[in-house]
């Protein structure tokens, strides 16, 4: 009976990775999924089992553990980060002159994908009635670049950098035009492109680009250019268990079956013994199961309620703030849903 209960507990918490299949992969914390377990959802239980642990945070990247939740909740945060947390991006491009080889619509698309530093929380959504831009909902930029011959170019040079002037158009060439009192609230560094060296176009003498642009607030479900993250994804925490000692050549072979740093070799009484060092970053390739002498020595699995979550911001808003915004967005959805239920009730 005890063994059966242990297996039941294992299936609730662990997805087992076999040679050709994954066992117990479905979510199983719903009420009534397992006999003898009270999995009814309550706020107190949710608070007790849910944990968030920040593992790494550097620049625009953050990795944290989301523990004790169902996959549906982790996936909700991921989808909201991608599609429903707002950012600022170029929506309208007004072309006065474009004699480059890039078609107007392609140039406008490239400009729209340039990430901006402007914090969307400081701006309002642009009204849909095509009203005039205001300082509360629009940022205006201009781009004026003309390529010319370099009068001091060497006679025998064939290098574009020596032959031409302004032949590469970068995001750093964009110039912010404040609207109203924006110049008192922001600086060009606050609202301009995240990086100054994003290549927009290459020109040759006689080519010219002259345009203005309006940046507005939007969300990723309207267009990918409004997505505030370069990527947001999660994976389950790997679990590796060694059932017996693996020594010598077999231990070295076992180590090579996993990602670097997952298995270490420990010297013990003159023997090299394999031990699990850090299963966190294992790719779960299951290479070890190809060897008959090693397959019975190790068990592979993934913890079903432990999500390793990664967020990479495009640079306007920090990853922690983006995750907090995704929580707020989910709360707003829940409130709206509850109001609809109350209306029907």
From the list 65, 62, 61, 63, the residue with the least C-alpha distance to 52 is: 65
Residue position matching structure tokens 């829940």 = 334
Read off the pLDDT of each residue in 166-182 and give the average, rounded to a whole number: 96
> Can you spell out the DSSP letters for 101-134?
SS-HHHHHHHHHTS-B---GGGSPPPPTT-PPP-
pLDDT of residue 29: 63
Report how far residue 178's alpha carbon sits from residue 253's, in angstroms, rounded to the nearest whole number.
Answer: 63
Read off the pLDDT of each residue in 261-280 and give the average, rounded to a whole number: 92
pLDDT of residue 11: 63
Read off the pLDDT of each residue in 91-120 and give the average, rounded to a whole number: 96
Q: What is the pLDDT of residues 137-169, one digit of tens each?
A: 999 999 999 999 999 989 888 899 999 999 999
Q: Check pLDDT > 80 for residue 299.
A: yes
Q: What is the pLDDT of residues 308-344, one digit of tens each?
A: 999 999 999 999 999 999 999 999 999 999 999 998 8
Q: Check pLDDT > 70 for residue 17.
A: yes
Q: Sorting pLDDT into bands at 50, 70 and 90, what band is 175?
A: very high
Domain boundaries, the chain: 33-85+228-241+299-345, 88-225, 244-296
pLDDT of residue 164: 94
Q: What CATH fold (topology level) applies to the domain 88-225?
A: RNA Polymerase Alpha Subunit; Chain A, domain 2 (2.170.120)
From the list 284, 226, 288, the residue with the least C-alpha distance to 254 is: 288
Read off the pLDDT of each residue in 174-181 and give the average, rounded to a whole number: 95
Q: What is the pLDDT of residues 124-133, one digit of tens each?
A: 999 887 678 8
Read off the pLDDT of each residue in 44-48 and give the average, rounded to a whole number: 88
pLDDT of residue 33: 67
What percentage of the chain has pLDDT greater than the value 90?
A: 76
Of 4-13, 41-50, 158-167, 224-233, the range with the lowest mean pLDDT is 4-13
Question: Is residue 249 classed exposed, middle or buried when 0-12, 13-18 and 19+ CB atoms within 10 A define those classes?
Answer: exposed
Q: Check pLDDT > 60 for residue 288.
A: yes
Homologous superfamily (CATH) of 33-85+228-241+299-345 is RNA polymerase, RBP11-like subunit (3.30.1360.10)
pLDDT of residue 30: 67
Q: Check pLDDT > 80 for residue 6.
A: no
25 versus 146: the higher-pLDDT residue is 146
From the list 117, 81, 119, 26, the residue with the least C-alpha distance to 310 is: 81
In the 8-state DSSP scheme, what is residue 224? Answer: G
Of 9-23, 123-137, 253-267, the range with the lowest mean pLDDT is 9-23
How close are the terminal C-alpha atoms of the chain, in Å? 45
Report how far residue 125's alpha carbon sits from residue 139's, in angstroms, rounded to the nearest whole number.
Answer: 12
């Amino acid at each position: 009976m005890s063994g059966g209960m242990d297996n039941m507990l294992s299936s609730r918490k662990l997805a087992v990775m076999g040679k050709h299949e994954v066992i117990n992969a479905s979510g199983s914390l719903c009420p009534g999924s397992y006999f003898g377990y009270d999995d009814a959802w309550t706020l107190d239980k949710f608070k007790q089992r849910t944990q968030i642990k920040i593992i790494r945070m550097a620049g625009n990247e953050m990795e944290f553990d989301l523990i004790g939740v169902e996959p549906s909740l982790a996936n909700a945060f991921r989808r909201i980060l991608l599609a429903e947390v707002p950012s600022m991006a170029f929506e309208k491009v007004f072309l006065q002159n474009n004699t480059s080889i890039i078609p107007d619509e392609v140039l406008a698309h490239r400009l729209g994908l340039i990430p901006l530093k402007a914090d969307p929380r400081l701006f309002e959504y642009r009204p849909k009635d095509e009203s005039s831009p205001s300082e509360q909902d629009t940022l205006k930029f201009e781009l004026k670049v003309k390529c010319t011959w370099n009068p001091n170019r060497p006679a025998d040079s064939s290098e574009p950098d020596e032959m031409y002037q302004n032949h590469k158009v970068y995001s750093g060439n964009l110039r912010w035009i404040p609207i109203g009192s924006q110049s008192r609230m922001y600086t060009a560094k606050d609202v301009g492109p995240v990086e100054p060296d994003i290549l927009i176009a290459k020109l040759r003498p006689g080519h010219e680009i002259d345009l203005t642009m309006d940046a507005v607030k939007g969300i990723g479900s309207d267009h990918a250019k409004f997505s505030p993250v370069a990527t947001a994804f999660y994976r389950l925490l790997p679990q590796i268990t060694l059932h017996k000692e693996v020594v010598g050549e077999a231990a070295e072979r076992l180590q090579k079956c996993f990602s670097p740093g997952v298995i270490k070799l420990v010297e013990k009484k003159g023997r090299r013994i394999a031990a699990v060092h850090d299963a966190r970053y294992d790719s779960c390739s299951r290479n070890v199961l190809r060897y008959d002498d090693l397959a019975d020595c190790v068990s592979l699995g993934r913890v079903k309620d432990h999500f390793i979550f990664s967020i990479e911001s495009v640079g306007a808003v920090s990853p922690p703030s983006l995750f907090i915004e995704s929580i707020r967005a989910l709360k707003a959805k829940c409130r709206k849903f509850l109001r609809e239920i109350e209306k029907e009730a």
